[in-house]
Structure 1
Amino acid sequence: MAVSLTNGSTWKAYEKQVFRFVFIYFVLQAVPLDWKFYSHLFSINWLNPTLADLFNVSRYTPQFFHQLTSADFWGLSTLADWLVVAVLAGIGSIIWYFFEQQRGVRSNYLDLYYLLRVILRYRLALGVIAYGLIKFFPLQSPYPSLSNFNIDYGDFSAWKIFSLSLGVAPTFETFLGGLEIFAGLLLLYRGTAAIGAFIVLIFHGNVFLSNLAYEGGEAIYSLYLLHIAAFLFLHDAKRIVNLFSLNKPTHPDLYKPAYIHAWQYALKIGLKSAFILVFIFVFGYKAYATYKAGSYHYPAAPGLSGAQGLYDVSEFGWNGQRLPYSKNDTVRWQDVVFEEWATLSIKTAAKIEPWLDGIEIIHHNDKDRIYELSGTVGRHYYHYRVDSVANTLSLENKNPNYLNDKFQLRYERLDQHTIRLSGLNSRGDSLDVLLRRLDKKYLYEEAQKGTRRGGFLL
């Protein structure tokens, strides 16, 4: 079909019918027709949008089988949603055919094909630039937390290992983001769109396979971007093969849209300029500002002043009884980590039901930022609020599987390295815990220090 489109010859009947289906299918996939999307779109403060606002706009996909459950996340489609889109496209293409037959209307397929490619070029550019920016400013895979360094390797999910491995290589993450942004910029111009689509096919083909191999949560969205890129690349694929592989004469695509009225061309320039302003410059600035302020994956509220570190639980009292240290005791704490931010993690022998959702979400509220615990089974993570006047900590388990797990604790700073915690949990059990900070060295960070000094690790 692509050959007949580009040389202006008469379309065959089956080509028209295929195009009708393809046109409706991709328009339904790329153009938001869901009232919930526009409800959120108009709720955004466009004078000062957040990074989450722009990211969610960039990642819209049609959904029919699940409702929006969080203001921070608009959701991703499933293959079942794709099936509904395909059925609607099939019905629409049949109606289109009979409309042309009954009314004698002849659609301008060349113009419609050009319009479809424009829609898909910008939709694909939006998707890859958004992900490119949160990689270019290393946000998508942040540096591991202190708690992460104190979890056994086998207690991480495959997806979390992949993410942490990328997080310790921010320069490589920036390179990957730059490549995505470059591909997105190429898609904004008709003459370079095929190159941009080809880069997306290679890049997101790898992303798709990585999501399958490491059990990530965005395999379907990667496939969504891939099938748009494949359609765009097919427009020039035969010409590229003829020119570079078969050494055959090749005609360029000579089609140019005709603008009858001056306002049509002005509208095109205006929309393109607005797209570049909002989704490259504003989005880029918001990503940079978020990176400078700290990763959106970790809470923004500071933790207990001067408490950051790994602590050994030297004494543990439970309901008035002293429990000796044990690797098998599901009640007694083994060690505790105070993060730089308001997260406290506790290691016990209790079996933990992990939270395995690997979908990229930018949360506004600190207690909803659960990247640090996602894909781990070694520790319980608690968001806490500090009352420095009453010397109390209010702890809430951040794992969605343990939302009723809470503590009200009083803290006492015995010295610079010792903290006593005492209080009650949500079930009324009392505890009295003595924590002593450990001066633990971490192999990766020591290796980094050696590299910066120009030394070698033997």
Structure 2
Amino acid sequence: MPGTVLLVNWFSRSWILLVYGMVGVPAPLQPTGSGDTFSAYILQLVILILALVMGLTWSIFDRRRSSYIRLHGWLRVLARYALAFALLSYAFSKVIPTQFIHLQNSQLAESYGRSSPMGLLWKFMGYSTAYTFFGGCAELLPAVFLLFRRTALLGSLLAFAVMLNVVMLNFCYDVPVKLYSLNLLLLSMFLILPDTSRLFNIFVLNASAQPSNLREPVLSHNSVRRTALVLKFTVLAIFLVRTVVSSVSRYREVEARTAPSAYPLTTRGFHWIQEEPFNR
């Protein structure tokens, strides 16, 4: 969200200090670039414990109420937009190829066995710009569907499929974004969960399904509804413009830094190998 950088940084820094204080380890002065550090796992555990304690306490003090229809509706809206904006960020880093760059001389000269699991994945993706673009479109499509309540379920299903693949890649190739991608996968599961019975009837029982009984938040006054709609598209437009401009700027920097040399390969440390036998 534009204008919230300071708030987000303060919130994140407070959590880091809290977690490191609990385990008795000094907090790092600079970020490590990894989302799967020891403190990140401890943070997830702390959040889970706090959620369980707060949920149990709330349920005890408000045990007479059986459901929270309006609160659940707003929570789904928050989850939809959080997942959509995350997917949009990842999508544009692939549509405008900045996440995976073209193979460089040092990578081409490196032996296969020296590649780390993550390095192997990055080389595989960086080799084909077309496939990287396809991966970005696969993340862009569910993000667009999640922005509208009528297509939210379709977007959640597509997001689940896309994020399941991302989670498997992160775990199998040791990419240090396992926790974050897993949280995005759980967000898509949370959005799908209320419609599981309807989906089961359609895809398994080949039976008809009733319309969804989920009650989306409804703004009563037309002026409030119009204001919310304008605000929604304004924030979305600002986010997209900033994301695209940032991606294009980074792409130009990467291209300028990694532009292929005009000299032939043999002058850059590469040597041709005789393919045919010397004696026939």
TM-score (ref. length: structure 2): 0.77
From 159, 173, 179, the counterpart of 1:214: 173
CA distance in structure 1 between the partners assigned to 2:80 and 2:112 by the alignment: 41
One-letter amino acid of the structure 2 residue matched with residue 250 of structure 1:
A
Q: Which residue of 2 aligns with 1:178?
A: 137
From 58, 62, 65, the counterpart of 2:19: 65
Aligned: 1:247 with 2:209: no
Q: Which residue of 2 aligns with 1:269?
A: 229
CA distance in structure 2 between the partners assigned to 1:73 and 1:88 by the alignment: 26
Q: Which residue of 1 aligns with 2:239?
A: 279
Conserved 8 A contact 1:68-1:74? no
From 137, 149, 159, the counterpart of 1:200: 159
One-letter amino acid of the structure 2 residue matched with residue 440 of structure 1:
F
Q: Which residue of 2 aligns with 1:229?
A: 188
Q: What is the CA deviation profile of residues 305-352 of structure 1, one whole-angstrom value per residue up to 9, with x for unaligned ones?
A: x998889xxxxxxxxxxxxxxxxxxxxxxxxxxxxxxxxxxxxxxxxx
More helix by percentage: 2
Q: Secondary structure at the match of 1:95?
A: helix
The two structures, once aligned, show a CA RMSD in angstroms of 3.6
Q: Which residue of 2 aligns with 1:141?
A: 100
Q: Secondary structure at the match of 1:295?
A: helix
Q: Percent identity?
A: 25
CA distance in structure 1 between the partners assigned to 2:138 and 2:125 by the alignment: 15
Aligned: 1:97 with 2:66: no
Change (3 A) 1:71 1:222: closer
Q: Which residue of 2 aligns with 1:257?
A: 217
Alpha-carbon shift at residue 260 of structure 1 (Å): 3.0
CA distance in structure 1 between the partners assigned to 2:134 and 2:32 by the alignment: 27
Alpha-carbon shift at residue 108 of structure 1 (Å): 6.7
Change (3 A) 1:73 1:218: closer
Alpha-carbon shift at residue 197 of structure 1 (Å): 1.4
Give the unaligned 5+ runs of structure 2: 21-26, 274-280
Aligned: 1:38 with 2:7: yes
Q: 1:101-116 counterparts in 2 under 5 A?
A: 109-116=68-75
Change (3 A) 1:80 1:40: closer
Change (3 A) 1:203 1:68: farther
Q: Which residue of 2 aligns with 1:81?
A: 43
Conserved 8 A contact 1:125-1:185? yes
CA distance in structure 2 between the partners assigned to 1:89 and 1:212 by the alignment: 26
Q: 1:348-359 counterparts in 2 under 5 A?
A: none
Change (3 A) 1:155 1:290: same
Conserved 8 A contact 1:135-1:174? yes
Bigger Rg, structure 1 or 2: 1
Q: Which residue of 1 aligns with 2:270?
A: 440
CA distance in structure 2 between the partners assigned to 1:74 and 1:156 by the alignment: 19
CA distance in structure 1 between the partners assigned to 2:232 and 2:32 by the alignment: 27
Alpha-carbon shift at residue 40 of structure 1 (Å): 4.2
Conserved 8 A contact 1:68-1:75? no
Conserved 8 A contact 2:35-2:178? no
Alpha-carbon shift at residue 117 of structure 1 (Å): 0.4
Give the unaligned 5+ runs of structure 1: 1-30, 42-56, 312-436, 444-458
Alpha-carbon shift at residue 179 of structure 1 (Å): 1.0
Conserved 8 A contact 1:149-1:442? no
Q: What is the CA deviation profile of residues 343-397 of structure 1, one whole-angstrom value per residue up to 9, with x for unaligned ones?
A: xxxxxxxxxxxxxxxxxxxxxxxxxxxxxxxxxxxxxxxxxxxxxxxxxxxxxxx
Conserved 8 A contact 1:135-1:141? yes
Change (3 A) 1:249 1:74: same
Alpha-carbon shift at residue 39 of structure 1 (Å): 6.0
Alpha-carbon shift at residue 288 of structure 1 (Å): 2.9
CA distance in structure 1 between the partners assigned to 2:58 and 2:148 by the alignment: 30
- Structure possessing the higher relative contact order (Cα contacts under 8 Å, 6 or more residues apart): 2
More strand by percentage: 1
**In the comparison of the two structures, how many residue pairs are matched?**
259
Aligned: 1:155 with 2:117: no
Alpha-carbon shift at residue 107 of structure 1 (Å): 8.6
Conserved 8 A contact 1:211-1:219? yes
TM-score (ref. length: structure 1): 0.49
Conserved 8 A contact 2:74-2:217? no
